[in-house]
């Protein structure tokens, strides 16, 4: 097994995740099977209880793992499916070690960070890598070198360097090269970051520099000299117009060739050009569509990262430019008359979310889309609110609501199903990960997917109440996708496009292989 360990210095948010995903994509293009692990130094067991304001989107994996959004980038770039084991947190590691200590597995020894915590980290990394059957395992160490939280993980990978053959490990360090007001590229932050890394016993084989403009030859020479790496190992990762251009940029900079030489990876003789073809299509889009996304985390786009990516994938496939406008749902609660501003959009999307805030504004937006026949896509809560809106305004169930928002509603059209009641843990009442759905013959859903059954990822607690399905369907809304007594898809026949899913199709969308509902949504706007 070959390991590529990616660390970061100077500051967070430099782009370690995109760098890691891009390295993996380029190796995949060369014919290698690649997997990836994200190390998050926070004490949370997973990202499931984190607010979108704190950590952006919670990405859901096929096995129900709630993880950091970087794993979403891994899945999209590598066109693969990962599991919760691919996300390693301090919480998971310490929970496991403490459980072993309580069971007496350490035979009375004093349990310490070294070797017990570091051994647990190494064992988990190696187990996931071996189980994947990959040729190369990428490991992104979250946080910044020097953070106290990251120390046990950096010590663990230092030990791996001692234990593995030298040709099996490569260390990639991502740093910042800022420019001063005179336009000079400053190397001191990189020098200090590498110095701190070396004090921990780690030496980078490659330095990937984030910078506004391509590195000058003099800057490369200086970093090479002061950081003790060859000049070909100093990679310029300057600003790109789009993150999907980054793998091509790093390939052009020679990063893949250097890694293959260092890891003694021989050419497989195959070359996958699909990524570069996708990027080329992205640069030749014609026309445009304007999409209004009505949500409540609209000032923080990372909260809807997978939705943004899915729209991009579908737009590239359809050959059309797109403009996304983020609309705060509470605007329509405070100023109901402003809902008419939605007339300027070619399509309206209401995403998922939790809590009552903004829900009535979203319902007004859904009603406007339905009554004015504007293409509409609802996701998770966006489906539940579609059912509430239809129940209130078409099915005659005045006061219909979700029991999440109103325990005393006369018509709880959205409710907790009996099998989910009386569960205390925060995540235990949720439906998480892959579930299947049977599609109604002749429905829009069947047309979109081109098959009679599907598997999509979920993250929700409340469901459409089966007791009201007959009344709602009698008035024209069709539940065209079902998982036994659970409603998975709602659509309204006769509309240009009105499709809402209880699941999150955005989690399975890929560049070159867009999510079917998103593609159909874009196509309806083009028409």
Contact of 290 with 320, CB cutoff 8 Å? no
Q: Rounded to an integer, what distance in angstroms lies between the CA atom of residue 492 and that of residue 212? A: 48
Lateral strand order in the sheet of 234-238: 87-89, 34-40, 136-141, 2-8, 169-176, 206-211, 234-238
**How many C-beta neighbours within 10 Å does residue 440 have?**
16
Site of tokens 């009603």: 367
To the query of whether residue 318 is one of the catalytic residues in this protein, the response is: no
Contact 99, 67 (CB under 8 A): no
Q: How far is CA 243 from CA 18, 19, 177, 213, in A?
A: 7, 10, 19, 15
**Peptide bond just before 115 cis, omega within 30 deg:** yes
Read off the tokens for 454. Answer: 């599907």
313 is catalytic: no
**Per-residue b or e along 460-489, where b marks 16 or more CB atoms closer than 10 Å to that residue's CB:** bbbbbbeebbebbeeeebbbbbbbeebbbb
380 classed as catalytic:
yes
C-alpha neighbours within 13 Å on the C-beta side of residue 369: 34
Candidates 86, 333, 380, 463; catalytic one: 380
- SS3 for 23? helix
b/e code 371-389 from CB counts within 10 Å (16+ = b): eeebbbbbbbbbbbbbbbb
Question: Does an H or E element contain 413, and which?
Answer: strand 412-415
Contact 358, 328 (CB under 8 A): yes
Strands 59-60 and 136-141: unpaired
CA distance 412 to 472: 13
Within 82-221, strands assigned E span 87-89, 136-141, 169-176, 206-211
Q: DSSP 3-state assignment of 318?
A: helix
Q: Which candidate in 57, 463, 491, 506 is catalytic?
A: 506
Mark out the alpha helices in 302-458 (DSSP H runs).
Answer: 305-318, 330-334, 359-371, 381-393, 444-449
Structure tokens at 280: 């080329």
Catalytic residues: 380, 504, 506
């Amino acid at each position: 097994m070959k390991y590529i360990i990616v660390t970061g210095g100077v500051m967070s948010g430099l782009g370690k995740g995109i760098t890691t995903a891009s390295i993996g994509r380029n190796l995949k293009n060369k014919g290698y099977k690649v997997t990836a692990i994200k190390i998050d130094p926070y004490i949370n067991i997973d990202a499931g209880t984190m607010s979108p304001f704190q950590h952006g989107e919670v990405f859901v994996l096929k096995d129900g793992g709630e993880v950091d959004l970087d794993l979403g980038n891994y899945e999209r770039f590598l066109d693969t499916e990962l599991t919760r084991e691919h996300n390693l947190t301090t919480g998971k590691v310490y929970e496991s070690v403490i459980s072993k200590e309580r069971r007496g597995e350490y035979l009375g020894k004093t349990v310490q960070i070294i070797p017990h915590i570091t051994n647990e980290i190494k064992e988990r990394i190696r187990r996931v890598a071996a189980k994947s059957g990959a040729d190369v395992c990428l490991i992104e160490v979250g946080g910044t070198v020097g953070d106290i939280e990251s120390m046990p993980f950096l010590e663990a990978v230092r030990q791996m360097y001692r234990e593995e053959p030298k040709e099996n490990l490569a260390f990639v360090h991502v740093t910042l090269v800022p420019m001063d007001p005179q336009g000079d590229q400053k190397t001191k932050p990189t020098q200090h970051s590498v110095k701190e890394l070396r004090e921990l016993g780690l030496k980078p084989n490659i330095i990937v520099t984030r910078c506004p403009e391509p590195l000058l030859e003099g800057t490369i020479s200086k970093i090479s000299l002061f950081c003790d790496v060859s000049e070909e190992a100093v990679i310029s990762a300057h600003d790109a117009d789009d993150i999907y251009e980054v793998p091509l940029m790093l390939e052009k900079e020679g990063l893949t060739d250097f890694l293959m030489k260092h890891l003694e990876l021989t050419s497989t003789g195959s070359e996958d050009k699909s990524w570069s073809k996708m990027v080329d299509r992205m640069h030749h889009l014609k026309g445009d569509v304007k999409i209004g996304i009505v949500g409540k985390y609209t000032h923080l786009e990372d909260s809807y990262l997978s939705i943004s990516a899915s729209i991009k994938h579908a737009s590239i496939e359809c050959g059309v430019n797109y403009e996304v406008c983020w609309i705060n749902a509470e605007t329509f609660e405070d100023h109901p008359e402003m809902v008419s501003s939605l007339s300027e959009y070619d399509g309206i999307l209401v995403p998922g979310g939790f809590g009552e805030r903004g829900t009535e504004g979203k319902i007004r937006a859904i009603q406007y889309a339905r009554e004015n026949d504007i293409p509409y896509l609802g996701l998770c809560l966006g489906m539940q609110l579609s059912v509430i809106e239809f129940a209130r305004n078409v099915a005659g169930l005045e006061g219909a609501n979700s029991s999440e928002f109103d325990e005393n509603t006369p018509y709880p059209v959205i409710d907790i199903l009996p099998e989910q009641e009386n569960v205390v843990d925060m995540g235990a009442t949720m439906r998480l990960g892959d579930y299947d759905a049977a599609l109604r013959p002749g429905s829009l859903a069947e047309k979109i997917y081109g098959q009679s059954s599907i598997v999509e990822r979920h993250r929700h607690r409340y469901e459409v109440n089966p007791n009201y399905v007959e009344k709602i369907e009698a008035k024209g809304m069709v539940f065209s996708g079902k998982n036994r007594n659970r409603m998975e898809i709602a659509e309204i026949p006769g509309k240009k496009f009105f499709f809402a899913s209880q699941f999150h199709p955005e989690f399975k969308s890929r560049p070159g292989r867009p999510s079917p509902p998103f593609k159909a949504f874009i196509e309806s706007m083009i028409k």
